[in-house]
């Protein structure tokens, strides 16, 4: 039977594998290949080694977008997990409105990013925004906080909105993990006189560490891919202050039409995604080992 199934299995895998290679893996390899050439989209090209990479690593716009992307990814992943876990613990209680509350906490993740960006722009705009208008009325003096109109503030606003937006699935995964923690372990610790906080840190957290790994990865990988939100919220502005790596790639490709730079930046994004993942997985393995050894 295994033999018969072997060939069937291959036939079953062919369609989606072909699509996956043509439209995801191959383009990544192409971006690596063409980043080493002076290709301009049409016609012949020649290899120029690492010249494109040298150029983008001297481009201030690229370097800043790279740094910003990593900051947004790491901060968003951290806060989405911190609050996600706290909210999951709350939603794990025996509330009467449990189901409705879960839906409400999940909801931001369902809202189209363009919609979210427009509503948040309406809330955060420096001149006509809701927060500044209400604060001006309440304090009876002009309040002017440029939440998204100042290069100093805009990244924080984007991190905040990203956390708001990505928390839903993270909460659900934590909730599922929390419900898998056996009660007798917590009870045993309680009889030993451990405080609730210590039980949480020493029993619950180690038990749900696989969920923590998954969720941090979800946060990191969504965070460093971020394109839609800053693109629709501020267009990468003001003064490129909210330009992420994905937006920079878009600009190289469609505005300045530096395809070589665009391909190089694309490959850098792939590498960043892979390196962050591997570092984090290695780190969490070591941590889990340490926790079991203790």
Q: What is the footprint of other proteins within residues 80-99 (CB under 8 A)?
A: 87, 90-91, 93-97, 99
Using CB under 8 A, which residues numbered 204 to 243 contact other proteins?
Answer: 211, 214, 221, 224-225, 227-228, 231-232
Of 189 and 259, nearer to other proteins (C-beta) is: 259
Pattern 42-81, other proteins, x by CB under 8 A? ----------------------------------------
| Alpha-carbon distances, residue 4 vs 8, 10, 16, 81 (angstroms) | 7, 10, 21, 46
Q: According to CB under 8 A, which one of 47, 122, 144, 156 is a site residue for other proteins? A: 122
SS3 at position 15: helix
Cα–chain center distance at 29 = 23
What is the Cα–Cα distance from 60 to 63, expressed in whole angstroms?
5
Q: According to CB under 8 A, which one of 36, 76, 159, 259 is a site residue for other proteins? A: 259
Q: How many beta carbons lie within 10 A of that of residue 180, not counting itself? A: 11
* DSSP assignment letter at 201: I
Q: How far is the CB of 57 from other proteins (least distance, A)?
A: 17
What is the Cα–Cα distance from 170 to 77, expressed in whole angstroms?
10
Using the rule CB under 8 A, give the single segment among 1-9, 58-66, 144-152, 182-190 that binds other proteins: 1-9
Using CB under 8 A, which residues numbered 127 to 146 contact other proteins?
Answer: 128, 130, 133-134
What is the Cα–Cα distance from 84 to 95, expressed in whole angstroms?
18
Of 9 and 151, nearer to other proteins (C-beta) is: 9
Using CB under 8 A, which residues numbered 147 to 176 contact other proteins?
Answer: 164, 169, 172-173, 175-176
* DSSP assignment letter at 202: I
């Amino acid at each position: 039977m295994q033999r018969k199934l072997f060939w069937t299995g291959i036939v079953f895998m062919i369609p989606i594998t072909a699509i996956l290679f043509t439209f995801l893996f191959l383009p990544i390899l192409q971006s690596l290949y063409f980043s080493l050439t002076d290709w301009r989209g049409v016609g012949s090209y020649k290899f120029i080694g690492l010249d494109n990479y040298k150029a983008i690593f001297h481009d201030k716009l690229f370097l800043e977008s790279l740094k910003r992307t990593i900051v947004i990814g790491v901060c968003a992943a951290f806060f989405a997990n911190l609050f996600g876990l706290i909210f999951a613990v709350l939603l794990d209680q025996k509330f009467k409105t449990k189901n409705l509350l879960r839906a409400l906490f999940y909801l931001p993740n369902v809202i189209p990013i363009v919609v979210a960006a427009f509503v948040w722009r309406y809330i955060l705009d420096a001149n006509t925004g809701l927060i500044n208008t209400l604060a001006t009325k309440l304090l009876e003096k002009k309040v002017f906080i440029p939440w998204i109109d100042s290069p100093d503030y805009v990244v924080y606003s984007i991190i905040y909105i990203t956390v708001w937006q990505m928390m839903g699935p993270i909460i659900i995964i934590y909730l599922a993990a929390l419900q898998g923690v056996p009660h007798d372990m917590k009870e045993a610790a309680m009889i030993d006189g451990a405080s609730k906080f210590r039980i949480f840190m020493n029993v619950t957290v180690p038990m749900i560490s696989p969920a923590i790994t998954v969720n941090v990865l979800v946060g990191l990988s969504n965070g460093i891919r971020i394109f839609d939100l800053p693109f629709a919220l501020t267009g990468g502005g003001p003064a490129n202050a909210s330009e992420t790596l994905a937006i920079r790639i878009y600009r190289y490709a469609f505005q300045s039409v530096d395809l070589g730079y665009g391909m190089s930046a694309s490959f850098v994004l792939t590498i960043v995604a892979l390196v962050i993942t591997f570092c984090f997985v290695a780190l969490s393995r070591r941590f889990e080992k340490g926790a079991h050894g203790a």
